[in-house]
Chain A
Amino acid sequence: MCLAVPGKVVAIDDSTDPLTGLIDFGGVQKQACLEYVPDVRVGEYVIVHVGFALQRLDEESALASLKLFEELGLLEEEFGDAWAQAAKEAGTP
């Protein structure tokens, strides 16, 4: 139940109190309370838990993490011990 899932804001209903919007979770759409992310805009992603958007997802941070993961190991390949690397790939300790 503590699961919170990312979804895309597809509509915001300004007339509701508390503020409500329609969130798309990869095809499944559900209403969620947007009161805690009042300045969120349609098209942005939020983390939703038990019907409440708790936080907006920051695209820049997401891309930065993925870029970091991409680069992991590259430095080792570039400057590391080629013999150790070859032995590791061959499965010998």
Chain B
Amino acid sequence: MKYIDEFNDPSLARRLLDEIRATATRPWALMEVCGGQTHSIIRHGIDQLLPDEVELIHGPGCPVCVTPLDVIDKALEIAARPGVIFCSFGDMLRVPGTDRDLFRVKGEGGDVRVVYSPLDALELARRNPDRDVVFFAIGFETTAPANAMAVHQARRLGLTNFSLLVSHVRVPPAIEAIMTAPACRVQGFLAAGHVCSVMGTAEYPELAERHGVPIVVTGFEPLDILEGIRRAVRQLERGEHRVENAYARAVRENGNPAAVRMIEEVFEVTDRNWRGIGRIPSSGWRLTDAFRAYDAEHRFDVTGIRTEEPAECRSGEVLQGLIKPTECAAFGTTCTPRTPLGATMVSSEGACAAYYLYRRMNDTPTPQAARAAREEMNPVA
């Protein structure tokens, strides 16, 4: 497949690795922001191929993982109501709420549907005028243009039975929060390529300057990730801290202006809670007043939510890059993809799930065990 195969070439990967090895003379800690990058790094064993000087810290860029527990509980409550069709991306199904998940709500009779695109949810609303169709609008800047278009179309079509339960988050305020945390060890960032495909790179120079960290916009294939690391290490060795674009084939400096315009028409910046991390100022989007009628939190009066996280789950520390998944006592014992304690064990972009799928196989080398681990990752399929 064009634009994928070429960026997986093993001989070019070796050249990049040699170059990184030749460049790094001191220990450096880099954070990859996006969960898609974490998945790719663990899947291809990139962290294990790097020289000892370069450590990758996994960031909070898994949208499923950072969706706060009270919003999950609200989703579960709304999804269980008669007359509601609750639509979600597939990887939210098994994310644990306080006492159940969407999968269980469906088992108990709730009408929960998995959709590929928010426009599919909109189509369900059009076809079922007597039902209330709610779409669980989570995600980073990458997903916001799609969700914004869905609600924009709903208004244009005059659909009154469609709403969004919004829990959108933004990357730059998360970088700010990570850099100002007391235990921060991060010295450079691989910024999330597809977030920048939408938003461009204008939000990052100020962060790089103020915190003295290189920020390298990075793609998702192995060569992309190695190139992001190479550029970040080169800057660090030279004492530089600039924004560089190592994913130029998909990222322009001004992003996608049409998509940004739609986001700004439909959403406004708000403070948000991140699961496992806490409140980050200006780190999210909510619907503007003009679209308030499409806000599920306003449409459905959901009160009496009392959240409780399992005490032994350390996903918050994993999300902040303070520990690796394997340092949690519950990892692979009481917490597995079949019985997840935290969202990081559910989504394929969660660090715990990636480690469980690809690292546990080091101890279970038979093909049967590998297959069993894979099936466990996809119990619904």
Contacts and interface: CB of A to CB of B under 8 A. Distances in A.
Interface of A: 1-4, 6, 8, 18, 25-26, 33, 35-38, 45, 47, 49-52, 54-55, 57-59, 61-62, 64-66, 68-70, 72-73, 76
27 contacts: A1-B139, A2-B142, A2-B192, A3-B349, A18-B153, A25-B1, A33-B119, A33-B146, A36-B259, A36-B262, A47-B197, A49-B143, A50-B117, A51-B116, A55-B251, A55-B256, A62-B6, A65-B246, A65-B248, A66-B6, A66-B7, A69-B9, A69-B12, A69-B15, A72-B12, A73-B15, A73-B19
Interface in B1-38: 1-4, 6-7, 9, 12, 15-16, 18-19, 22, 34-36
A2 B250 contact: no
Interface of B: 1-4, 6-7, 9, 12, 15-16, 18-19, 22, 34-36, 61-64, 89-91, 116-120, 138-140, 142-143, 145-146, 149, 153, 192, 194, 197-198, 220, 223, 227, 246, 248-252, 256, 258-259, 262, 347, 349
Contacts of A57: 3, 249-250
A38 B259 CA distance: 11
B18 to A, nearest CB: 6
Contacts of B249: 57-59, 61-62, 65
Contacts of A72: 12, 15-16, 18-19
Contacts of B138: 1
A69 B223 contact: yes
B146 to A, nearest CB: 5
Given A49-B143, A51-B117, A52-B145, A36 B1 contact: no
B258 A38 contact: yes
B35 A2 contact: yes
Contacts of B34: 2
B259 A54 contact: yes
A13 B120 CA distance: 18
A2 B194 contact: yes
Contacts of A35: 149, 258
A14 B16 CA distance: 43
Q: Chain A interface secondary structure, helix, strand, loop or mixed? A: mixed
Given A1-B63, A2-B140, A50-B118, 6 more contacts: A1-B349, A2-B349, A33-B119, A33-B146, A51-B116, A52-B149
A4 B142 contact: yes
B198 A54 contact: yes
A6 B139 contact: no
A6 B3 contact: yes
A50 B168 CA distance: 15
A54 B142 contact: yes
A45 B6 CA distance: 15
Contact of B248 (A36, A49, A58): A58
A33 to B, nearest CB: 6
Nearest to B251: A55
A32 to B, nearest CB: 8
Given A2-B142, A33-B149, A57-B249, A51 B259 contact: no
Contacts of B145: 36, 52, 54
Nearest to B34: A2
Q: Considering the complex of A and B, which 6 residue pairs feature the smallest CB-CB distances, nearest first?
A: A51-B117, A26-B1, A61-B248, A61-B249, A55-B197, A62-B249
Contacts of B248: 58, 61, 64-65
A66 B35 CA distance: 24
A57 B35 CA distance: 22
Contacts of B4: 6, 26
Contacts of B36: 2-3
B267 to A, nearest CB: 15
